Amino acid sequence: MRDKTRCSDEEERKKRRRVTARAYYLANREAVIRRTTAHRKRNPARANELKRLARKANPEGNKAAAKRWAFAARTRPHRRMARLIRFAQERAIAKGLPIDAAYLREWLRVPAEQCPCCGKPFVYELGYQPHAPSLDRIRPMNGYVKGNVDLLCRRCNTLKNDATPDELEQVADYLRRILLAAPQQQ
């Protein structure tokens, strides 16, 4: 009985100490980081030991945080370009198309800001975005090589697909015709 009480008191004290330490850290973050870094440099063996203990206590590490970070990073244009290139590589392998990844990386280092087809600015937000940038093969069978790629928004790329200009004109003419004939709903 007595032991139990002491134990819970001990836990309560520990908890309070953790809260105080956290508050102190938040209020003095820079100074704490500076001191910790200096201390680690002076005592590398102890620093490694602490690192090992932390890994043991939390073997999953901050995988969840890393995952969240990777997900959020997709909103950054250069990360998105890396992703587009990776997917293009997978598609090229699956379809047996040529790809020049080094050229793509260099060409997309500073990606265009708007779709050259509809003129709308590229959108990098998460989730399905019709104006997200996508890689277009100008002549689909020629693959992802210099002179045969363009950065189009998803919407334009989907509408274009592998159509020829004549085919698209045909579809546009058809659409105009049937829309004229179909009465508009009030």
Instruction: Look up residue 60 and give its two tokens.
Output: 């999953």
Of these, 118, 138, 168, 172, which contacts Zn ion (CB under 5 A)? Answer: 118
Binding segment toward Zn ion, per CB under 5 A, in 28-36, 96-104, 145-153, 177-185: 145-153
- Pure H helices in 43-164: 44-57, 63-73, 77-95, 101-107, 154-160
For residues 124 and 76, is the Cβ–Cβ distance under 8 A?
yes
Nearer to Zn ion, 38 or 118 (CB): 118
Q: Does 123 bind Zn ion (CB under 5 A)?
A: no
Q: Does 132 bind Zn ion (CB under 5 A)?
A: no
Q: Does 153 bind Zn ion (CB under 5 A)?
A: yes
Smallest distance, Zn ion to C-beta of residue 159, A: 8
Nearer to Zn ion, 82 or 117 (CB): 117
Please tell me the distance from the alpha carbon of residue 115 to that of residue 93, in angstroms, as a whole number: 26
Reported as type and span, the H/E element at residue 131 is none
* Total interface residues for Zn ion by CB under 5 A: 5
Reported as type and span, the H/E element at residue 117 is none
Smallest distance, Zn ion to C-beta of residue 46, A: 57
Binding segment toward Zn ion, per CB under 5 A, in 36-44, 62-70, 78-86, 108-116: 108-116
Instruction: Look up residue 109 and give its two tokens.
Output: 């280092």
Of these, 84, 88, 99, 115, which contacts Zn ion (CB under 5 A)? Answer: 115
From the CB of residue 123, how many other CB atoms can be counted at a distance below 10 Å?
15
If we measure between CA atoms, which residue out of 162, 159, 158 comes closest to residue 148?
Answer: 162
Smallest distance, Zn ion to C-beta of residue 110, A: 19
